[in-house]
Amino acid sequence: MHGPRPPGTALVRAPGPRLADGIVTRPGGRPVDLALAARQHAAYVAALRAAGWRIRAVAPANSHPDAVFVEDAVVVCGDLAVLGRSGEPRRRGEVPGAERAVRELGLRIERIKEPGTLDGGDVLRAGGTVYVGHGARTNEEGICQLAHLLGGLRVVPVGTSGCLHLKSALTALPDGTLIGLPERVDTSVLPCMRVVPEPTGAHVVVLGPEHVLMAASAPRTAARLAADGLRVTSVDIGEFEALEGCVTCLSVLVP
């Protein structure tokens, strides 16, 4: 007799020695504790593993402080992996390691080409629709290239304001319901959105049909989702939040 099928593979990349030099766009940041960040990342990976995901480590990119935010380097949809091309040139060297990882998984490889720019943190799939944030890291040409590569899926550009990536302000629950911060996105192109009581509550990683991963900094949102019957796993990622990261940034889930 076979056990339940694993949900898939989670690509992660450990924080490097230069993490504290990560790019921040908001003033007034605080120092990052590297040792604490390493422990928080290990706990995050453990939560993915406990939910049944196979863990695959992406090769380190220690000269790139933000490489731990592996989501930005590649977008995976079905058997296709689209390699990003960040609007922040200092992050483009993070892509080769991610490319090796998805190639080893046997995925088809495509890439965003100049003059297009695209970060994976701007790409949110909800059912048959892919929402793509149009902002500092992802431009119109990048969105057009992604739409062409994704073929039959509906691609909807979403303007963003006051946030680094679309998924800094908007994610989706297991049933496809959008959850987030309406003041930071162009809601005119979106269906109904569930508004969260705290900013970090906008960040949800779907681990299974009724299971989500969230940051410990969003307890009120977590309580509401649990009251709705979802299983909620919370992890402390405070050192990554100090670098404008969130739970979605730290992995690429390949079902």
Q: Which residue in 41, 64, 165, 203 is the catalytic one?
A: 165
Secondary structure letter of residue 167 according to DSSP = G
Instruction: Confirm whether 163 is a catalytic residue.
Output: no
Find the distance separating the first CA and the last CA of the chain, reported in whole Å: 22
CA 121 – CA 16 distance, rounded (Å): 20
27 contact partners, CB below 8 Å, separation of at least 6:
none
SS3 115: coil
Q: Which residue in 77, 163, 246, 249 is the catalytic one?
A: 249
CB 2 within 8 Å of CB 69: no
CB 96 within 8 Å of CB 133: no
Instruction: Confirm whether 192 is a catalytic residue.
Output: no
User: Which residues is 231 bridged to in the sheet?
Assistant: 211
Among all chains, which residue has been given the structure tokens 């009251």? 227
Q: How far is CA 65 from CA 39, 102, 243, in A?
A: 17, 21, 10
Residue numbers annotated as active site: 165, 249
